[in-house]
Structure 1
Amino acid sequence: MKLERLISIIYKLLNNEVLSASALAEEYGVSQRTIYRDIDVICAAGIPVVSYQGTKGGYGIMDGYKMDRSLLGSYDVSSLITVLHSMSTVFEDERVLETIERLQTIEPGSQTQSLSMDIGSRWIDTGTLRILRQAIKRSRVIRYDYINAKNERSARLLEPARLMYKYGNWYVAGWCRSRREVREFRVSRMANVEETDETFAQRHVVEEGGGYARDDAGDTEPVEVVMKVAGSALARAMDQFSSAEKHFNKDGSLTLKLPVDRPHEAQWLWAVLLSFGDSMELVEPVELRDVVRSMLESTLRLYTEK
């Protein structure tokens, strides 16, 4: 259908710098003459399409063009504003605020917002995030100290490529000069982060979704850990283990099942278990109960020995 093709071409032009008539004709299975007529119709609708000459010429949207509100629904605009507001609180980016202002001209904020989010965290130094983002923009090497899952501290040099917020935490991915490969590092475990004067070529691409090895990632199959939570600690357990498989028992307790990489070395797991006191019991694997018992006995000695 012509209308569907016109709408599709508009979005392609909005998302690309320049597209040639031949490429558009081939994609939609029409002649270049038809594409020329489509461009005329789009221009007549008030969308400023610009023609570029030369071997890499084609069509594009005029720089600084403000998208008409008919191209985005109120839900789209509202969601974009919400996400950008959250970004602006973390990075204090004036350009983000300018984008928000432009979006608000498309859809005035008179309606009630149904979505709110905060991607910042009181446990994360937002100053570090800003340093990392600036280094990525400038293609500058960063220097920092890193603490891995084994509590080993090492000095690192990284060619940062992308900041990522996932699993409720911030990560930075880039070319690690120590490991000689693209890796991910958890920002909360980075200390003394500074941008150096050394620049690097943007040759190490980090794909969308990542999937690269983390410096603290395990190399074995996860082990299922089963925990039983007393009724007096249900809310806290739900907060702490939101991704675990849950089963509510008749006595009011809760059974949690969670896959854990190298549970014998998972210090975070032991810390959480001990923090629940007698409100949480490790059920399986059975051999790990001895580890918990040993830790409790060691802790008790701190308060009984003089």
Structure 2
Amino acid sequence: MPISRHFEIIYLLLQKKTLTAAEFAEHFEVSTRTIYRDIDTLSAAGIPIYSSRGKGGGISLLDRYVFNTSLLSESEQNDILMALQSLSAIKLPDTHDVLDKLSRLFKKDMNNWIEVDFSKWGSGDQQRELFPLLRQAIIAHHLIEFRYYNSAGEQSQRSVELLRLLFKDKSWYLEGHCRNSDSSRVFKISRMKEIVVTELVCDPRPVVTFADAEENVMRNAIEVTLRIAAQGAYRIFDEFAEHTITRNEDGSYSITEYFSEGNWLDSYLLSFGVLLEEVRPEYLRTRILAQLDTIRNKLGGN
């Protein structure tokens, strides 16, 4: 049962004092039996709510019950509203209605201070709808199917029982039990294509720890040392943790970081262009130079 319905029952009674079960049922589009179950739940939780029969009867709160907003400081009220705005920004269900009601109870006209969009700039509505789609599939325990492109450039068809979404290092990942490999896997969402939410409902599996998920992602990681020219500072501070960065006397930066092996790593390093001054280990440097030769030959052939 949505928690917001419990909250709204209390909210409506605070506004209108008494309502019948039939009025509540019509408002929420549920049966009166469901409303009476809600009343029992609220009563068991310590809310002084009761129902009376006969003419003028209905469901009410005891007269002494007041939602005392003075129990919360101005700062605490703002924190609650801002937290709800954060949830509303990522389109979690029911948060907009709860936010609106609490704003009125606190007598505050809140400006929306946050906007969250999980898509890239210019990616269109399809990408923007991906996060709510996955969120709903996780909540309902639906199996999803998709085509996946791994860091080696290989593609495969996957069937996955969803566990949760993870955000790590500027990217979203999906954790789930992959039926193809019969093991827990973490997939980078930007590499998931042709996603289909099936009608098959799966039994929930235990969620692994974040450390375990990170271990899965970094299973084939290697230590890489880079030197990047001073002009690349904007990318260095965007893309690397502070403790991995050393500033050299000539103004350049040295970075030691762990990267997952794969073709993507070559492309990523090449994206630094003339800013890239040194790469180690040596085999990776050799591979990058070979990639440059291939690019030169292809462009020269045009």
Q: TM-score, with normalisation over the residues of structure 2?
A: 0.66
Match of 1:137 among 136, 139, 142: 139
d(CA) in 2 for partners of 1:235 and 1:249?
A: 16
Paired residue type of 2:118: G
Task: Go from structure 1 to structure 2 and tell me whether the alpha carbon gap of 1:142 and 1:229 turns closer, same or farther (over 3 Å shift).
Answer: same
Secondary structure of the structure 1 residue equivalent to 2:129: helix
Measure the CA separation in 1 of the matches of 2:295 and 2:71: 62
For residues 272 and 147 of structure 1, do their structure 2 counterparts lie closer, same or farther at Cα, with a shift above 3 Å needed? closer
In structure 2, what is the Cα distance between the partners aligned to 1:87 and 1:74?
20
Of the three residues 266, 273, 276, the one matched with 1:277 is 273
Q: What is the CA–CA distance in structure 1 between the aligned matches of 2:143 and 2:214, rounded to whole Å? A: 19
Check conservation: 2:117, 2:128, Cα contact below 8 A: no
* 2:230 corresponds to: 231
Which one of 290, 297, 306 corresponds to residue 286 of structure 2? Answer: 290
Give the match for residue 302 of structure 1.
Answer: 298
The answer for the alignment partner of 2:168 in structure 1 is: 166
Aligned to 2:118: 120
1: distance between equivalents of 2:244 and 2:152?
A: 27
Following the alignment from structure 2 to structure 1, what is the Cα–Cα distance between the partners of residues 96 and 110? 20
What is the number of equivalent residue pairs in this alignment? 245
Q: TM-score, normalised by structure 1?
A: 0.65
Q: Is the 8 A contact 1:77 1:107 kept in 2?
A: yes
State the partner residue of 2:254.
Answer: 255
Q: CA deviation at 1:299?
A: 0.7
Q: Retained in 1: the 8 A contact 2:149–2:191?
A: yes
CA distance in 2, matches of 1:178, 1:289: 35
Residue of structure 1 equivalent to 2:187: 185
Q: What's the % identity of the aligned pairs? A: 26
Unaligned stretches of 5+ in structure 2?
1-40, 50-60
SS in 1 for 2:193: strand
State the alpha-carbon separation in 2 of the partners of residues 167 and 74 from structure 1: 34
Structure 1 residue 132, shift from structure 2 partner: 1.4
Alpha carbons 2:231, 2:275 under 8 Å: kept: yes
Cα 1:88–1:279, aligned 2, differ >3 Å: closer, same or farther?
same
Q: Which amino acid aligns with 1:196?
A: T
Q: Residue 291 of structure 1 aligns to a residue in which SS?
A: helix
Matching residue of 1:205: 206
Q: CA deviation at 1:246?
A: 1.2
1:152 aligns with 2:150: no
Question: Which runs of 5 or more structure 1 residues have no equivalent in the other structure?
Answer: 1-48, 53-58
